Amino acid sequence: MTKSSSKKATIAYHHGNLRETLIEKGLEILREEGPEGMSLREVARRSGVSQAAPYRHFQSKEDLYAAIAELGFKTLKAMLLDAARQHPEDALARVRFCGEQYFRFAREYSEHFRCMFGDYWRFDPAQSAACEVSLEALGVFVEHVIAAQHAGQIDTTQNPMHLSIFLWSSIHGYASLYVRNSLFFIEDESLKTNELLNDILDRTLRSAQTFNVVTHQ
């Protein structure tokens, strides 16, 4: 880093951009080396700051993971909110669109996705902003499910949260398999991202039309 670029970086950090830079470099490490390469020391080195600087924002690398997860949930929430604009008159189409957006998010923001649903940090609703935003994102989806129930497009007798988790689990499972390259045996990428995705969404939504919860006494 030249003296000029170092000075510019210092000025930028003074104005509050260090946290964003640390998150960006953390994501860079995850893309290149995975969680094994993550440390606040390495994040500081790549950010061009002292080893102590990251601790102004993150007490541990788990705190950094939580920040990456929070950013991911915010991005996902924004993508789900777009359903209302794309399909203002059809609630079931909005539910389906959310499934498509969820898979798209997992593909395009795979490092965020792994942080959001991996084992890098512990969900603690009492302390983590990421948990709060995750519930907001889920809330957007639940609203569309409720609207589809009111329109008579899916089972109206069931708890909407049960239905939402059922639908979410189906697409999340597929997205997780894709992100972790567990579908390596399917060579045709279009089959994985289009045909199979559409088939999963079709079957899952049809199941939601006659969804039943078995209660054990």
Q: How far apart are CA 42 and CA 214, in angstroms?
A: 50
Summarize the confidence of residues 199-205 as an average pLDDT: 92
Predicted confidence (pLDDT) at residue 149 exceeds the cutoff of 80: yes
Q: Which stretches of the chain are DSSP H helices?
A: 3-12, 18-33, 40-47, 61-86, 91-108, 110-117, 129-150, 160-179, 189-190, 196-208
Of 23 and 122, the structure prediction assigns the larger pLDDT to 23
Q: Are residues 123 and 201 in the same domain?
A: yes
Contact 114, 121 (CB under 8 A): no
Of 180 and 5, the structure prediction assigns the larger pLDDT to 180
Q: Are residues 99 and 39 in the same domain?
A: no
| pLDDT at 67 (0 to 100) | 93
Of 72, 3, 64, 67, the residue nearest 37 (C-alpha)? 64
Which CATH number do you get for residue 35?
A: 1.10.10
| pLDDT at 14 (0 to 100) | 47
Residue ranges making up the domain that contains 119: 61-208
Residue 8 banded pLDDT, cuts 50, 70, 90: very low
Summarize the confidence of residues 55-62 as an average pLDDT: 90
Q: Are residues 25 and 130 in the same domain?
A: no
Between 22-36, 39-53, 57-71, 110-124, the lowest mean confidence (pLDDT) is in: 110-124
Residue 214, domain member (yes or no): no
Q: Are residues 45 and 112 in the same domain?
A: no
Summarize the confidence of residues 178-187 as an average pLDDT: 87
Q: Are residues 13 and 45 in the same domain?
A: yes
Between 20-29, 56-65, 136-145, the lowest mean confidence (pLDDT) is in: 56-65
Structure tokens at 147: 């609207």
Q: How far apart are CA 77 and CA 92, in angstroms?
A: 18
Residue 86 banded pLDDT, cuts 50, 70, 90: very high
Of 16 and 156, the structure prediction assigns the larger pLDDT to 156
The Cα diameter of the chain in Å comes to: 71
Q: Are residues 161 and 186 in the same domain?
A: yes
Summarize the confidence of residues 57-72 as an average pLDDT: 92
| pLDDT at 193 (0 to 100) | 82
Q: Which of 9, 41, 59 is the last residue of a domain?
A: 59
Which CATH number do you get for residue 184?
A: 1.10.357.10
Residue 128 banded pLDDT, cuts 50, 70, 90: confident
Q: Which of 31, 59, 87 is the last residue of a domain?
A: 59
Q: Are residues 160 and 65 in the same domain?
A: yes
Residue 215, domain member (yes or no): no
Contact 113, 75 (CB under 8 A): no
Residue 54, domain member (yes or no): yes
Of 211 and 3, the structure prediction assigns the larger pLDDT to 211
Summarize the confidence of residues 64-81 as an average pLDDT: 95
Q: Are residues 124 and 192 in the same domain?
A: yes
Residue 143, domain member (yes or no): yes
Residue 146 banded pLDDT, cuts 50, 70, 90: very high
| pLDDT at 209 (0 to 100) | 81
Alpha carbon of residue 160 to chain centroid: 21
Encoded amino acid at 190, one letter:
S
